[in-house]
Amino acid sequence: MQLRYTFRIEPGPGQRSALARAFGCARVVYNDALRARETARAQGLPFPKTGDLSKLLITDAKQTSERVWLGEVSAVVLQQALRDLDSAYRNFFDGLKGKRPRMGAPRFKSRRDSRQAVRFTANARWSLTPGSKLRLPKIGDVKVRWSRPLPSAPSSVTVIKDAAGRYFASFVVQTDASEVPPETTGEVGIDLGLTHFAVLSDGRKITSPKFFRRAEKKLRKAQQSLARKTKGSNNRRKAVVKVARAHARVADARRDFHHKLSTTIIRENQAVHVEDLAVKGLARTRLAKSVHDAGWAAFVGMLEYKAVRYGCTFTRVDRFFPSSQLCSACGVKDGPKPLNVREWICRACGAVHDRDVNAARNIRTEGSKVAAGQAETQNACGAQVRPVPVPAQRATRTPVRKKQEPTRSPSQPAWCRREIPDL
């Protein structure tokens, strides 16, 4: 499988200017292509193809006085900007067809966007120098902070600048079988929460670190300092960077916690079962700040792709499964309980249960049944009997909608009702 390895890079002053030009040229080509397709739609013309846009907006545009500066950056960067626009349209049209969750139509990019990125493929002839530097065309040799070696030769690299002014190089590599950990027979169910970030079916409880809550005071002071600055001043620009850096520290700490915990769980178990929580719904309640601070969706996503990477079985249990109402000892449903009830006694068998541990055990049991059902289905179709280590299908997370003609809504432009082209 393909993975991304991201490292911090330290470009010099001249290299930062060259990267700024690359970011700007890629943004201009993206916006020009989007404008050309929007104009064609408004005039009722056919959907412009990528090849025609490449010749018109890159090759021919370099010969004009208005776009002659496009030749100062690598042509691969400009071509990849068109590929990004194609991906944005493809995701938008797939959402209208019901193949994936709906998302908005492609929008124009701004120079004030907090994140800028350009991508270099093998055609750009970028390389890693003998001195472990990243050599980029028309930019130079950039110093990289290597935290670990790459498992294989990368196929592409994306240079990213975040809101805090930091630069990163993201490499796409192909992993090999040597990274698979030793065989294990463990099986675990995970109940996610706010007081305890995760409660495992074996009784372990991982306390929620609450990174945002702990840094809230510093973040508030940084925001107050930003509010006092005059708009358009240099001091305000510096204050904006300080706020972005404060938020970046919180996000980095949370991501590091998620990675370490998910890796530990995957390495210790052959099967992992989690509950499919309605994170978007919970984020609209009074617990929204705590839900966002926990980052459940990011953690479950890490568990999912690491399970595929290490050959484990990953299962999502339906969110309507009454994990807190069932007795994990006898299986009797004891009815709903308020949140302040953390321990309860089963009226059928008299077993004393910790609410979260009992829920995790029920999730493990239900996840095993789901995995066994998937294995039986695969066997009936003539495939392998054992569950194949692949991510959960999207159909198990979202309801299946009947195919219907896309209709206009406040969040969709009028041209959504037109025939959807295949990219």
> So which residues are the catalytic ones?
191, 275, 356
In the three-class reduction of DSSP (H, G, I as helix; E, B as strand; rest coil), residue 120 is classed as strand
Of 137, 138, 134, which is closest to residue 125 (Cα–Cα)?
A: 137
Cβ neighbours of residue 301 under 8 Å, at least 6 residues apart? none
Say how far apart CA 382 and CA 388 lie, in whole Å: 13
Say how far apart CA 11 and CA 124 lie, in whole Å: 19
- To which H or E segment does residue 140 belong? strand 140-145
> Mind giving me the DSSP string for 321-333?
S-TTTB-TTT--B
Structure tokens at 46: 């056919």
**Looking at the DSSP assignment, which residues form a beta bridge with residue 117?**
160
CB 258 within 8 A of CB 298: yes
Of 349, 355, 363, 357, which is closest to residue 336 (Cα–Cα)?
A: 355
Q: What angle do CA 214, 216, 217 make, to 5 degrees?
A: 100
Structure tokens at 152: 């294989």
Find tokens 């193949």 and name the residue: 99
Say how far apart CA 106 and CA 91 lie, in whole Å: 9
Say how far apart CA 189 and CA 204 lie, in whole Å: 11
- Strand ordering across the sheet containing 133-136: 116-120, 156-161, 167-174, 2-10, 140-145, 133-136, 127-128
Structure tokens at 126: 């970028």
Q: What angle do CA 3, 148, 181 make, to 5 degrees?
A: 60
Beta strand residue intervals within 225-286, DSSP E: 271-275
